[in-house]
Amino acid sequence: MGKQTKSIEQAYRLAKERYAALGVNTDQALKTLAKVPVSLHCWQGDDVGGFENFGATLGGGLVATGNYPGKARTPDELRADAAKAFSLIPGKHRFNLHAFYGEFHGKKVERDEIEPKHFKNWIAWAKELGVGLDFNPTCFSHPKAASGFTLSHPNKAIRAFWIEHCRRAREIGAAMGCALGTPAVTNVWIPDGMKDTPADRRGPRERLVEALDAVFAKKLNPRHNLDAIEGKLFGIGAESYTVGMHEFYLGYAVQHQILVCLDAGHYHPTESLADKISSVLCFVPAILLHVSRGVRWDSDHVVTLTDELYAIAQELVRGGYLDRTHIGLDFFDASINRVAAWVIGTRNMLRALCFALVEPHARYKQLERAGDYTARLALMEEAKSLPFGAVWDFHCLRQGVPVGEAWLAEVKAYEQNVQRQRQ
């Protein structure tokens, strides 16, 4: 046994004792943590480019800034990069694809023509890796989305085009879920909105209701596909009006008992996503999270270990919501190594969950019920410097992935030997 392994185990034993004194079973916590999947978003790997080769540039108010070398140019490169990231993250996770990441072999396959067969290599890859897949229709970066409207477009034919695209996306999600034995969450996000003050806020929203009714008309087996819808506050070029704002989709999801997707970058900066979880889950069966980090605007920065991230993880654990929450990530940073971006963001999500799982939250609740807010505050603050890092390190060791910053050397080597060879 290596010296480092020994000291990690020793540190864990001490931490375990310390937590046990507070009534927390760290072995149990790590068992739970090992079973929480995080869905890595494919689009971090190539700056939301996709593989359609229509020459369309990123649209819909989304912007990936930076020009770090080595981005994946083909499905095989993207799969290799994602597999590298998976190998540096403890646990079994998922991969989240957008429709324009299908494999069309140089053919022009329109968005309203996509089929499960265009994703068969992705499904085979996921099966081999033992990861689940999630899915999204791609309602941006396309000439028919250039006006800033898709499902709520005033033109009926364009609306029909996007309805058909979203319908097919759900079928593809179901094919993935069926093949892999774990439901795909298919998430509909559209960019529809306006730069300046609209005269008619009502028309597009009523059209969107109708379009969604058409998209979701066919019932799919929930063991294969789960439907989610994602709202937003504003986008670049859609500063004054977003058709699918949070209230709109929350209403729709409650009415139809589908999943609502909460993206951490999609609210006013002083609003907390964490606080929404226990509200929304009173009314919908489950939620999808797009864990992200907004910086000033919805800039989709790599997830770091912020208070907001801790708060999200704490809500999921304290509320007992892990089994009704599908955790996904959503950021795109092209200014750093893209594999590292996945690893940093995903490890942080799991690290925050690790912290939440080992804090003495049962004790907090007891104190709260007894009205002892002094002790509640005191314990919550003390918990911040408990040796949870030792628990996390031990988890990484046990799961067979690098402990601490050791993963970085592997990404650096991969960058040198693989990514930089792509120039």
The question of whether 330 is a catalytic residue gets the answer yes
Q: Which of 300, 308, 315, 359 is catalytic?
A: 300
The question of whether 153 is a catalytic residue gets the answer no
CB-nearer residue toward ligand RNT: 57 or 423: 57
Q: How far does Cα 349 stand from its chain's mean position?
A: 10
Q: Measured from the CB of residue 173, what is the shortest distance to ligand RNT in angstroms?
A: 14
Instruction: Please report, as a single letter, which amino acid is at residue 380.
Output: M
Q: Which of 134, 263, 359, 393 is catalytic?
A: 263
Torsion over CA of 229, 230, 231 and 237, rounded to 10 degrees? Answer: -120
Residues engaged in binding ligand RNT (CB under 6 A)? 43, 48, 62, 136, 189, 230, 232, 263, 290, 298, 330
How far, CA to CA in Å, does 179 sit from each of 52, 86, 92, 183, 384?
24, 21, 17, 9, 43
Q: Which of 142, 266, 276, 301 is catalytic?
A: 266
The question of whether 333 is a catalytic residue gets the answer no
Q: Measured from the CB of residue 263, what is the shortest distance to ligand RNT in angstroms?
A: 5
Check residue 47 and give left, alpha or beta (phi > 0: left; psi -120 to 50: alpha).
left
Question: Does 300 sit near Zn ion (CB under 5 A)?
Answer: no
The question of whether 76 is a catalytic residue gets the answer no
Q: Which of 47, 230, 333, 415 is catalytic?
A: 230
The question of whether 372 is a catalytic residue gets the answer no
Calpha distance 161→143 (Å, rounded): 12
CB-nearer residue toward Zn ion: 45 or 70: 45
The question of whether 298 is a catalytic residue gets the answer yes
Q: CB within 8 A of 403, min separation 6: which ones?
A: 4, 8, 393, 396, 397
43 binds, among ligand RNT, Zn ion, none (CB under 5 to 8 A by kind): ligand RNT
Stretch that binds Zn ion, among 71-79, 258-266, 307-315, 408-416 (CB under 5 A): 258-266
Check if the beta carbon of residue 287 is closer than 8 Å to that of residue 264.
Answer: no
Q: Which of 343, 345, 326 is nearest to 173 (CA)?
A: 326
| Residue with tokens 């004194």, as numbered in its chain | 21
The question of whether 192 is a catalytic residue gets the answer no
Stretch that binds Zn ion, among 28-36, 39-47, 111-119, 322-330 (CB under 5 A): 322-330
Question: Does 263 sit near Zn ion (CB under 5 A)?
Answer: yes
Calpha distance 96→83 (Å, rounded): 13
- Angle (CA) 222-224-229 rounded to 5° is 65
CB-nearer residue toward ligand RNT: 30 or 229: 229
Q: Which of 52, 134, 171, 330 is catalytic?
A: 330
48 binds, among Zn ion, ligand RNT, none (CB under 5 to 8 A by kind): ligand RNT
Check if the beta carbon of residue 260 is closer than 8 Å to that of residue 229.
Answer: yes
The question of whether 263 is a catalytic residue gets the answer yes
Give the residue, chosen from 165, 207, 276, 290, that forms a contact with Zn ion under the rule CB under 5 A.
290
CB-nearer residue toward Zn ion: 48 or 179: 48
The question of whether 290 is a catalytic residue gets the answer yes
CB-nearer residue toward ligand RNT: 79 or 232: 232
Calpha distance 266→258 (Å, rounded): 19
Q: Which two tokens stand for residue 304?
A: 């770091």
Contacts with Zn ion by CB under 5 A lie at 263, 290, 330
Write out the catalytic residue numbers.
189, 230, 232, 263, 266, 290, 298, 300, 330
